[in-house]
Chains A and B, each alone.
Chain A
């Protein structure tokens, strides 16, 4: 089970609202390589992990991704506070505003709503861990692209923290993949699904 802790993993303190930035950052909430998809990917995959180490990695990183979802949502919330209709129109934030006002809704920057089709849970730990490694790199690239688009240091600071976490998670998943491969014996040299073909 989970218990909510009333603190952010890393501070989010944005002095100046800016809906133009919120329009692109929202992709890391509900976009194809966003934090919601990351969390759901790992928390669903963990049941077919073949050893305690990989079960732990998926549970703990999946949990940390929930904290990252909260950080992205805090960034979006602070960037869109106290806006006038004039500012909303000038920033082109009206398309989002008409459906959600300034509520937080998981969608990609393009406006496509979050979908579970963004991730897979294949029931084969080798397949799933390769997806997880790719997912961390795709999220890292998205953060790199966001950093190219954002100048405000108040916004860059938490985005840089989140980018670094993708790198650490990639490392941990690599170790998980090595652990699973080391468990394969000579009878399963070609790495058929070790969670199903026992």
Chain B
């Protein structure tokens, strides 16, 4: 994984984590205005980061694949691989 891809993956993980936290909090506080505003703000950020990652490096879910010339789902490492988590190869 290149350092740019790694950087974008880390950003995506951070945005996604903010959404997970908001989701769990809102489950028990479904009318909290601050919580809802936090969710909306991070949802925008997450969607932008996700679109940028998928455009540059391929699908994060199988359904997000383009399915044109080749099956992109199998062209990127699965996330438990060491090389999917480090950004050394530029």
Q: Is the CB of A11 within 8 A of B63?
A: no
Of B25, B27, B29, most A-chain CB atoms within 10 Å: B27
Q: Is B68 an interface position by the 8 A CB rule?
A: no
> Which residues does chain B contribute within 8 Å of A169, judged by CB atoms?
24
Q: Is A77 an interface position by the 8 A CB rule?
A: yes
Instruction: Identify which of residues 72-94 in chain A touch chain B, using a CB-to-CB cut-off of 8 Å.
Output: 73-74, 77-78, 81
CA distance A142 to B63 in the complex (A): 37
Q: Is the CB of A5 within 8 A of B10?
A: no
Across the interface, name the chain B residue whose C-beta is closest to A77: B80
> Which residues does chain B contribute within 8 Å of A12, judged by CB atoms?
80, 85
Q: Is the CB of B80 within 8 A of A70?
A: yes
A3 interface neighbour in B61, B73, B78, B79, Cβ under 8 Å:
B61
Q: Is the CB of A78 within 8 A of B13?
A: no
From A32-40, A55-63, A105-113, the one touching the partner chain is: A55-63
Q: Is the CB of A172 within 8 A of B61?
A: no
Q: Contacts A6-B76, A9-B17 known; A175 to B61 CB distance under 8 Å? A: no
Q: Summarize B's interface: helix, strand, loop or mixed.
A: helix
As a 0/1 sequence over residues 1 to 31 of chain A, the CB contacts with chain B under 8 angstroms (1 = contact) are 0011111111111110000000000000000
Name the interface size band of chain A: 20 to 34
> Which residues does chain A contribute within 8 Å of B18, judged by CB atoms?
none
CA distance A6 to B65 in the complex (A): 12
Q: Is the CB of A3 within 8 A of B63?
A: yes
Q: Is A64 an interface position by the 8 A CB rule?
A: yes
Q: Is the CB of A64 within 8 A of B79?
A: no
Q: Is the CB of B60 within 8 A of A64?
A: no
Q: Is the CB of A4 within 8 A of B9?
A: no
As a 0/1 sequence over residues 36 to 78 of chain B, the CB contacts with chain A under 8 angstroms (1 = contact) are 0000000000000000000000011111000000000100101
CA distance A15 to B79 in the complex (A): 15
**Which positions in A face B, CB cutoff 8 Å?**
3-15, 53, 56-57, 60-61, 64, 70, 73-74, 77-78, 81, 168-169, 172, 175-176, 179
